[in-house]
A and B are shown apart, each in its own frame.
Chain A
């Protein structure tokens, strides 16, 4: 598995996810600056990390979605290269049109930074095959704009097609997201965007190892 982590100006979880990938897959990812024209050709996973790219100017992820590197990321996505977007990465995927819907300000208006309980909704995917459907996991969130919205038809389609990968466990929705959605996939299930940070839950010293299985799922699927 050869991952590439895209680094945008003001990405701040790029090194966290690189550390998690290195520890779990045994291989350091390529760190790719957003101004580059292309992702390394041998990359079999592209990660858009968390952070506050471009200071969240205009809308979270809006500017990054048009960064030079994104043309190649979109081209690779269309060819089926798996893409994982965490937090700001999820916002960028939505802004780039690779995932439906949008992420708006938390309903509470507050920045929320705490572990949340998530329920695994789909386990037959390259991102989640080490989890079980219905399993509850604890992974931290840290965002001010994680409130997932989409029109009713889009939400229904996501549910009907089994594209909701993770949901905030009932009563633990930190941001007001529609239908408690924490993470969704594209139709081909090659792209996952999620607000919680699995890379921050890969070592018990940080309070949880529940995020580890996501990277192990990818390792198993892509090796």
Chain B
């Protein structure tokens, strides 16, 4: 089974990377660019009996390593493959 984890900076936490991307988009001529947030996607292949179990495992992984709750949020997606 495969899970896709989206890790994004919490709202309110300065995201200099997102800001730089936003500035670059504006420089390229895109109009009306607002807040841009840059995060990352982590895909993990794991063994689990079902989607719920996979999601639970991924949650523990996020809490322990993949996301830093001081500055980041995460969303777990179980991929149907």
Contacts and interface: CB of A to CB of B under 8 A. Distances in A.
A104 B20 contact: no
A95 interface: yes
What band does the interface of chain A fall in when counting residues whose beta carbon is under 8 Å from B? 20 to 34
Interface in A86-101: 94-95, 100-101
Given A107-B14, A109-B16, 19 more contacts: A58-B65, A58-B66, A66-B64, A66-B65, A94-B70, A101-B70, A102-B68, A102-B70, A104-B9, A104-B13, A104-B14, A104-B16, A104-B71, A107-B16, A109-B17, A147-B16, A149-B71, A150-B70, A151-B70
A76 B41 CA distance: 35
Contact of B65 (A62, A104, A109, A150): A62
A25 interface: no
A149 B70 contact: yes
Contacts of B13: 104, 149
Interface string B29-54: 00000000000000000000000000
What band does the interface of chain B fall in when counting residues whose beta carbon is under 8 Å from A? 10 to 19
Name the prevailing secondary structure of the A interface residues. Answer: loop
Given A58-B65, A58-B66, A102 B16 contact: no
Contacts of B9: 104
Contacts of B65: 58, 62, 66
Interface in B51-81: 64-66, 68, 70-71
B41 to A, nearest CB: 13
